Amino acid sequence: MADTKSDSIEETSAFTPRFNEAGLIPAIAQDAMTGDILMMAWMNSEAIEKTLETQEVHYWSRSRGELWHKGATSGHIQTLVSMHVDCDQDVVLVKVTQTGAACHTGRDTCFYRKVTKDDDRLTLKPGH
């Protein structure tokens, strides 16, 4: 009889990422030192493999439709510290050492605006 508990997707030691219908999985990048969330992008299985192989984070660019070695052009690479997966294996987390800015706007993180409610209207204000 299979040990259903340890074989469950939550408890297994087998890495079986659950990609969406486009073959992608969300990947959150967190600064390993500060704990700041830098960005969220998407990986396919090749991006996961390349990231682990090179220790530099690779994503799948949905806009360009190609493998995206983050920082290959800008120099703003993300050096992998560790890769994690969530309980039901449909989200990846990479803890990284960020060189330069994570965000294409030149900011340290992509999450530089706060959603606030003003007079029943949702607006954005600067804020981490």
Residues found near a copy of itself in the complex (CB under 8 A): 10-15, 26, 28, 30, 34-37, 39-40, 48, 52, 82-88, 91-93, 103-105, 107, 110-115, 117, 122-125, 127-128
The smaller minimum CB distance to a copy of itself, of residues 3 and 15, is found at 15
Using CA atoms, how far apart are residues 28 and 93, in angstroms rounded to an integer? 5
Pair of tokens at residue 112:
């530089």
CB of 27 to a copy of itself, least distance (A): 10
- Find how far residue 48's CA is from the centre of its chain: 10
The smaller minimum CB distance to a copy of itself, of residues 34 and 72, is found at 34
Four-CA torsion 48, 49, 55, 56, nearest 10 degrees: -60
Using CA atoms, how far apart are residues 31 and 29, in angstroms rounded to an integer? 7
CB of 49 to a copy of itself, least distance (A): 8
